[in-house]
Structure 1
């Protein structure tokens, strides 16, 4: 693993909090996830950074060395971001968009729309399953805009100077193979899937915890969860090895049907983010408007979602 700025910020947060539990709360992570991340950082640096005790953590000699370097590196990066922001607002800056997004159809749809309305602007993309990583890339000036998401009404990824605006909210649907007993149902109760194995794309927000809580309310614990990439999730569902969770805008896919979960126990909020210092109000408004239209186009291509919406329209 290569050391990144976000790893240094994690080490700094643990030292400031004085315990993994308090640091996990401040970072919006589960404590086991933070512990696993710290172990990866320690392996990359060649030794333990903190001694764990009953009353919290204390930096080792190596940890003190790393913390001393963070006091130099992190402010220097902040200064670089500010200089880059000033450059980005200057006439010398070339019109271009570096877009990031989680895996899904919305990123591609936004690229397509921007290519139509801003044909002279260069557009590059970066995909990641980690909303937190996308936020870090925005904060570091390595992305101009990012499409991320949160579970329900959870707060967006935190980083100083970032602006987040809601694009849309999707109900979460379930993917089942075409031959599944529930494939013809108009909607599916979560409890009806108690004996299934599951597949999903990993994330670093609270969605997994919210899913587990919803299953508990429905009276069961998921038998198994395969965390893998989108293509593998699709394959596992197609061959009947698992069922999967997906946003309602998930595109129609051969061999798979998507169905609403009864009572809409889970939701996914699509967000567009940017750094307040690097994007002008007009540019941000343009990209946000195109993101709204891109979402509408993606939603219109999902037969199950359009049927779900139509059933809820007031005559």
Structure 2
């Protein structure tokens, strides 16, 4: 018979109980069955482990040796099991990344960078127009990280439970059809010059629409009409000349569309990465945040109009 961990636990229990009767009760065995098991263990170890007497059992010299080793081996094995379980959980977390995001180019760019950084990971995404919905999914543990944004200095959703770190701050640009009368203007556009236009933007549950309306009021007009729809439809409405679009400065180059900055930067957008602190390792959160900032820098570099604006204002991508 080969010695097993369960045999060491049996020896320890007998020594702690002080009698075979009490040990059998603790182990849930009949005393004859425990006595037979102990004899098999003693044969495997080459001698008696306990002396039996009227008042119970007492460890022999061999028994003391085995008990001393047992006090080392059993805790070490238990710690090994706990460490292996923690490692397995961390590996599963590292092998699966559930990302959420609102509209914009950063989500795809972040997925691309994370796949390069961790090719063994399975990355899934969930897109939503609602920052509040993304915050709820993070709080419920259904997402690991979420890319969201706020208008200006507005607080992000779910701040009581979640961590939100700033990725970058972008000015809000306008999208014009290439044939628009102002598309070839090399400078910044006054918002007032667009007073007669219809507008298009993507929906959201933050304050951006109110901030845009307030910016128009400061420029001396009220927007005629606002089409709230998905990104592809916004681009189409701009391309056919139906509307002027609102976009982050990182909006990628698109056929038939010219992006231009607004004078005075009346609107800005903060890109944020959120997660639940109890659900993520600090090192993983730091890695995803760094990759998100790298994704933003790459998007900024691909936008000629944003690069020109940054050079004009002496800024770096992700100002301030």
TM-score, length of structure 2 as denominator length: 0.69
Report what 2:268 is aligned to. Answer: 267
Structure-1 residue corresponding to 2:170: 170
1:273 partner SS: strand
Q: CA deviation at 1:296?
A: 0.5
The correspondence of residues 87-98 of structure 1 with structure 2, limited to 5 A, is: 90-93=86-89, 94=92, 95=94, 96-98=96-98
Aligned to 1:118: 118
CA distance in 2, matches of 1:239, 1:107: 27
Aligned partner of 2:290 in structure 1 is 289
Q: Is contact 1:139–1:159 with CA below 8 Å preserved after alignment?
A: no
Q: In the TM superposition, what are the counterparts of 1:100-111 in structure 2 within 5 Å? A: 100-111=100-111
Contact 1:136 1:159 in 2 (8 A): no
Unmatched segments (≥5 aa) in structure 2:
1-84, 316-320
* Stretch of structure 1 that moved more, 167-176 or 153-162: 153-162
Distance in structure 2 (CA, Å) of the matches to 1:305 and 1:226: 24
TM-score, normalised relative to structure 1: 0.70
Rounded to whole Å, the distance in 2 between the matches of 1:275 and 1:182 is 45
Does 2:274 correspond to 1:278?
no
On the 8 A contact 1:161/1:277 being kept in 2, the answer is: no
In the TM superposition, what is the alpha-carbon distance from 1:270 to its structure 2 partner? 0.1
Equivalent position of 1:130 in the other structure: 130
Map Cα deviations across residues 284-303 of structure 1 (whole Å, 9 max, x no partner).
Answer: 00110111111111111111
Unaligned residue ranges in structure 1 (runs of 5+): 1-88
2:219 is aligned with 1:218: yes
Cα displacement string for residues 180-225 of structure 1 (whole angstroms, at most 9, x for unaligned residues): 1110111111111110000110000000000000000111110001
Greater Rg by CA: 2
Q: Distance in 2 between matches of 1:173 and 1:152?
A: 14
The superposition leaves residues 246-265 of structure 1 with CA deviations (integer Å, 9 ceiling, x where unpaired) of 00000010101000000000
2:5 alignment counterpart? none
Partner of 1:61: none
Structure 2 Cα separation of the partners of residues 294 and 217 of structure 1 = 34
Q: Which residue matches 1:53?
A: none
2:201 maps to 1:200: yes
Deviation at 1:160, TM superposition (A): 4.0
CA distance in 2, matches of 1:115, 1:269: 25
* 1:159 Cα deviation from its structure 2 partner: 5.2
Structure-2 residue corresponding to 1:63: none
Aligned partner of 2:190 in structure 1 is: 189
| Secondary structure in 2 matching 1:226 | strand
Aligned to 1:251: 252
CA distance, structure 2, for counterparts of residue 143 and residue 90 of structure 1? 20
Q: How far is the alpha carbon of 1:161 from its aligned partner?
A: 1.9
Q: How far apart are the structure 1 equivalents of 2:233 and 2:119?
A: 34
- In the superposition, relative to structure 1, how do residues 159 and 169 fare at CA in structure 2: closer, same or farther (>3 Å)? closer
**Distance in 1 between residues matched to 2:160 and 2:188, nearest whole Å:** 41
Query: Match of 2:34?
Result: none
**RMSD of aligned C-alpha atoms?**
1.2
Distance 1:194 1:159 in 2: 37
Q: Is the 8 A contact 1:200 1:245 kept in 2?
A: yes
Q: What CA distance in whole angstroms lies between the structure 2 residues aligned with 1:122 and 1:280? A: 17
